[in-house]
Homo-oligomer: A and B are copies of this chain.
Amino acid sequence: MEQFRKQTEYFSQTVDTKAPTTGMSSVRSIAKLAGVSITTVSRALNNDPAVNPKTRERVLAIANRSGYVATVGRRATTNLGFSYTGEATLSHPFDAAVLDGVIHGADEQRFDVLLTNLKRDKRPDESYTQFFLRKGIRGVILRTMQESRSICQAIADEGFPMIVISERFSSPNVSYIDGDSRADSVRAVEYLIALGHRRIAFGFHSIPDRDHTDRFAGYKDALEKSNIPFDESLVYRQRYTLAGGATVLKMVMTMRDRPTAIFFADPLLAVGAVKQAHALQISIPKDISIIGFDDTNLRYGVHPTLTAVCQDAAGLGFEAAQRLTRMLTNREQKTFQISVPTFFEVHESTGAPPAHLVESGDKNQSAPAQLKSAI
């Protein structure tokens, strides 16, 4: 498929951690390597509480390293897992696009995609490896949030083949692929500043994740670089819905000394704000400029077409699935840490601020000192 061609990688590092193993892994081969009986291997794989924790750990580590695979009948499974470490957010366009990409990325090596619920099904006493083996999953693609990042780390530590989508990890053993939106967030806000905006609101969703944290940081960076004091009252946290975006717009427009531009870190918020502006007969960009974020092509669905920081969510899913399944097929173990830069597109939702709202004097002048001290 055209849309899933390989992306150029700008910030990519690949670490070989193990040579490919040879031969098929079985309870027998694991038993030999672990120096235990096949009985113990079976028990360890099935989480029999009788097994010594140390033994269990050793067996599972060898199982992962040797590429042990559950069988349906006598055949090796070909399931690629797709799991959330926290709440599933599949109704969000980002996730729908990622999954679409994952399915196509799994195509080449003829893997099927199994959607599993870690939260629902993982027994508290079993390891992640045991859980995935039980589901016939050979490798897993993970979606995570800040508060459940440790689960990704734990899965990687067990040595189970995995890759996280849209988070970053400093531990070299955790594979991930993410879109790096911070630089373009800076660029987006600087673009607004260059157009003459000084009071710029920021809207993001209320679930803490790395993407939104990055974009928030980019927003603050840009303000700081232009000596515009950061104003907490211009920051809006909302649920990622159209209603959330509409709320931000309504609040912004009714503020005293209102902002002349809004940068949204979430596609649905941006679309909801545009919609609300139409309803209130507020003209974009004449009355207010809006920059959105777009994981797919929602920016083209509204009028005016949104100036937006964009990433190809389907591409991230495709890349993750293709790399992981190739790794599984070639029986090798690598770690991928890939950051794909976003791109910034200027369309029609941004322009100069309304004349009557611009402070008099030099546009490049920094905000007055009393504003700074107010923070």
- Residues of chain A whose beta carbon lies under 8 Å from any beta carbon of chain B: 45-46, 70-73, 75, 77, 79, 88, 90-91, 96-97, 99-100, 103, 107, 110, 112-117, 120-121, 133-136, 242, 271-272, 274-275, 278-279, 297, 300-305, 314
> Can you give 23 contacting A-B residue pairs, CB < 8 Å?
A45-B73, A71-B72, A71-B73, A72-B72, A72-B136, A73-B133, A77-B136, A79-B114, A90-B96, A90-B99, A91-B314, A99-B99, A107-B117, A112-B114, A112-B116, A112-B117, A112-B135, A113-B114, A115-B115, A242-B297, A242-B301, A271-B301, A274-B303
- B91 and A115 contact, CB distance less than 8 A: no
Give, as a whole number of angstroms, the nearest-CB distance from A242 to chain B: 6
Residue of B nearest to A296 (CB): B91
- A46 and B73 contact, CB distance less than 8 A: yes
- Residue in B90, B103, B303, B314 whose CB lies within 8 Å of A278: B303
- A107 and B79 contact, CB distance less than 8 A: no
Give chain A's interface secondary structure class: mixed
Residues of B within 8 A of A117 (CB): 107, 112
Give, as a whole number of angstroms, the nearest-CB distance from A111 to chain B: 10
Give, as a whole number of angstroms, the nearest-CB distance from A264 to chain B: 14
Residue of B nearest to A348 (CB): B279
Residues of B within 8 A of A278 (CB): 303-304
Residues of B within 8 A of A88 (CB): 103
- B103 and A134 contact, CB distance less than 8 A: no
Give, as a whole number of angstroms, the nearest-CB distance from A42 to chain B: 9
Most buried by B among A45, A271, A301: A301
A113 to B112, CA, bound (A): 10
Residues of B within 8 A of A103 (CB): 88, 90, 115
Given A73-B46, A117-B112, A300-B242, are A97 and B107 neighbors across the interface (CB < 8 Å)? no
A103 to B99, CA, bound (A): 13
Extra A-B contacts (6), CB below 8 Å, given A75-B134, A90-B103: A72-B72, A72-B77, A91-B96, A91-B97, A91-B100, A112-B117
Given A114-B114, A135-B112, are A73 and B73 neighbors across the interface (CB < 8 Å)? no
- A279 and B302 contact, CB distance less than 8 A: no
Residues of B within 8 A of A99 (CB): 90, 99
- B116 and A120 contact, CB distance less than 8 A: no
A301 to B296, CA, bound (A): 15
Give, as a whole number of angstroms, the nearest-CB distance from A335 to chain B: 26
- B300 and A279 contact, CB distance less than 8 A: no
Residue of B nearest to A136 (CB): B72
Residues of B within 8 A of A91 (CB): 96-97, 100, 314
Most buried by B among A75, A91, A113, A304: A91
Give, as a whole number of angstroms, the nearest-CB distance from A278 to chain B: 3
Residue of B nearest to A3 (CB): B91
Give, as a whole number of angstroms, the nearest-CB distance from A105 to chain B: 12
- B300 and A301 contact, CB distance less than 8 A: no
